[in-house]
A and B are shown apart, each in its own frame.
Chain A
């Protein structure tokens, strides 16, 4: 069976994916302007500083939007439909793409509180996902 597309960690993102592998959810915080950002970058998208720290995120957020997907967008998702594609707004502010899991897809609503959970897809890659809080 085909695998879903998986991230190939690179300079900006190695720390994020290795934390996820340890079931830790980290995001970046800028030492110069104090803003959080997601996704990980080599510079702060608010002020262009390179002084970024990795911080443990609370892991909570709310559903900003979602869509129940009935068609596999890639052979790796065959047999995994329907799934909930969602943008979660983290408590720290930034938004991220994720899946809402461990619930009936039809029960997901915008504004719903969610918490992070970890999906160990392979030995190397763990995907942070979210479930109802």
Chain B
């Protein structure tokens, strides 16, 4: 079997978010389960149809994630996946689920995620861990004060050094993303911002300012997949999985082979090859935006522009509503929601755009969408290309 045989064999038939934002009265397990219920309802399926469960919880109480969440929802799957590669996991699960469905290992796959990141600790872009004594290879980073934002800042600084990328260019991304958020009632931050607002926001880890950083919120999300054959009988117009890819290059930022290129170079190439589409065919892109630099490196690594040209590519509000590269149309992790891992929300919005459900933020006539998740510290990526059926 060739990966290209998966083309249009599997469909996404249900997507949903849970309550978003600040949800102190609900556990992360409940958020994950309520998003799952809504995604299944949308598809016209029930939990008893689910025979494949894909999830990871990286925070407290989340060990053995797929067993835990399946038990919580009363599901006994015959296919299970707790792959834990950070925020990209949920995009990579689309590849895993497509393979499992296409080979008959399961019929209905449920990808779910829930997190109470802000209710647990608040703040933005917190520490990698709060451990007092560090066991394992991260003992070569944590004693030096490494953090998520610090790690991404190292990449941003290096990109600026090699290619002359500027803070203004990174700010373009934050400003454009906020414009999309202003059209999404579910987005947490909806007031317009300017490039000056980004540059004058507090420096967190140079060269990244507060407004270069994603939100920290509570949120859950879910995605349901099944075979295209079965999908045609369900409630929603199916969205086809055209091609997928995944890759990782390192765990710790000091071990990243090249600070200016992510694994999207690999996962993106695979996804495009398997989907049989070109960059010009992509009508809308949902690019994991943990930080502005994440987007810039990903656009280059995916090949939407040449290496080093990401700054010029995003200039002039190109990714904003009305620009010629609609991106992060729900408002992204920068302005809509970010519960520590954002991947599932890139998939949800890509599906809604292809169904034409996005109201004022709808990209007219969107036929092909790309979603790219990035996990860890620019460590792992999952890329999927979806199409209208």
Q: Which positions in A face B, CB cutoff 8 Å?
A: 3-8, 10, 13, 38-39, 41, 64-74, 77, 80, 83, 85-87, 95-99, 110-111, 121, 125, 127, 129
Chain B stretch 119-157: residues in CB contact (< 8 A) with chain A: 126-137, 139-147, 149-150, 153-157
A67 touching B206 in the complex, CB below 8 Å, given contacts A8-B139, A87-B154: yes
* Residues in A whose Cβ lies below 8 Å from that of B205: 67-71, 85
* Residues in A whose Cβ lies below 8 Å from that of B68: none
Quick one: which of B129, B131, B253 contacts A87, CB cutoff 8 A?
A: B253
* Residues in B whose Cβ lies below 8 Å from that of A41: 137
Of chain B, the residue at the smallest CB distance from A16 is B140
A97 touching B146 in the complex, CB below 8 Å, given contacts A66-B154, A70-B205: yes
A5 touches B143 (CB 8 A): yes
A69 touches B132 (CB 8 A): no
B141 touches A97 (CB 8 A): yes
A65 touches B132 (CB 8 A): no
Q: In the complex, how many angstroms separate the beta carbon of A118 from the nearest chain B beta carbon?
A: 13
Most chain B Cβ neighbours within 10 Å, of A7, A111, A121? A7
22 residue pairs of the A-B complex, CB under 8 angstroms, read A3-B132, A5-B131, A5-B132, A8-B139, A65-B155, A65-B158, A67-B154, A69-B150, A69-B204, A69-B205, A71-B149, A72-B145, A73-B150, A74-B142, A77-B145, A85-B145, A85-B150, A85-B205, A97-B140, A97-B252, A99-B145, A125-B143
A95 touching B254 in the complex, CB below 8 Å, given contacts A5-B134, A110-B157, A127-B144: yes
A87 touching B147 in the complex, CB below 8 Å, given contacts A6-B134, A70-B205: no
* Residues in A whose Cβ lies below 8 Å from that of B143: 4-7, 121, 125, 127
* Residues in A whose Cβ lies below 8 Å from that of B146: 73, 85, 97
A-B contact count (CB 8 A): 122
Of chain B, the residue at the smallest CB distance from A98 is B144
Q: Please, how many angstroms separate the alpha-carbon atoms of A110 and B157 in the complex?
A: 8
* Residues in B whose Cβ lies below 8 Å from that of A67: 150, 153-154, 156-157, 205-208
A71 touches B252 (CB 8 A): no
**Interface size of B by Cβ–Cβ distance < 8 Å?**
42
A97 touching B253 in the complex, CB below 8 Å, given contacts A65-B155, A73-B147: yes
* Residues in B whose Cβ lies below 8 Å from that of A7: 133-134, 139-140, 143
Q: Please, how many angstroms separate the alpha-carbon atoms of A10 and B17 in the complex?
A: 43
Q: In the complex, how many angstroms separate the beta carbon of B203 from the nearest chain A beta carbon?
A: 5
Q: In the complex, how many angstroms separate the beta carbon of B163 from the nearest chain A beta carbon?
A: 12
* Residues in B whose Cβ lies below 8 Å from that of A70: 202-206
A68 touches B206 (CB 8 A): yes
Of chain A, the residue at the smallest CB distance from B133 is A8
Given contacts A3-B132, A87-B253, 16 further A-B contacts (CB under 8 A): A7-B140, A8-B133, A8-B139, A38-B140, A39-B137, A66-B154, A67-B208, A68-B206, A74-B130, A80-B145, A85-B144, A85-B146, A95-B254, A96-B140, A99-B145, A110-B158
Main secondary structure of the interface of B (DSSP, over half): mixed
Q: Please, how many angstroms separate the alpha-carbon atoms of A68 and B150 in the complex?
A: 8
Most chain B Cβ neighbours within 10 Å, of A71, A83, A98? A71
Chain B stretch 73-91: residues in CB contact (< 8 A) with chain A: none
Q: In the complex, how many angstroms separate the beta carbon of B60 from the nearest chain A beta carbon?
A: 17
Q: In the complex, how many angstroms separate the beta carbon of A129 from the nearest chain B beta carbon?
A: 8
* Residues in B whose Cβ lies below 8 Å from that of A73: 126-128, 145-147, 150
* Residues in A whose Cβ lies below 8 Å from that of B255: 39, 95
B127 touches A74 (CB 8 A): yes
* Residues in A whose Cβ lies below 8 Å from that of B137: 39, 41
Q: In the complex, how many angstroms separate the beta carbon of B170 from the nearest chain A beta carbon?
A: 14
A97 touching B144 in the complex, CB below 8 Å, given contacts A5-B129, A85-B205, A87-B254: yes
Interface assignment of B23: CB less than 8 Å from any CB of chain A: no
* Residues in A whose Cβ lies below 8 Å from that of B358: none
Most chain A Cβ neighbours within 10 Å, of B203, B254, B259? B254
Chain B stretch 156-180: residues in CB contact (< 8 A) with chain A: 156-158, 161
* Residues in A whose Cβ lies below 8 Å from that of B126: 73
Q: In the complex, how many angstroms separate the beta carbon of A46 from the nearest chain B beta carbon?
A: 13
Of chain A, the residue at the smallest CB distance from B135 is A8
Q: In the complex, how many angstroms separate the beta carbon of A113 from the nearest chain B beta carbon?
A: 16
Q: In the complex, how many angstroms separate the beta carbon of A103 from the nearest chain B beta carbon?
A: 15
Q: Please, how many angstroms separate the alpha-carbon atoms of A66 and B155 in the complex?
A: 9
Binary interface encoding of chain B residues 269-284 relative to chain A, with 1 for a CB under 8 A from any of its CBs, else 0? 0000000000000000
B145 touches A69 (CB 8 A): yes
Chain B stretch 325-345: residues in CB contact (< 8 A) with chain A: none
* Residues in A whose Cβ lies below 8 Å from that of B254: 39, 87, 95-97
Q: Please, how many angstroms separate the alpha-carbon atoms of A97 and B147 in the complex?
A: 12
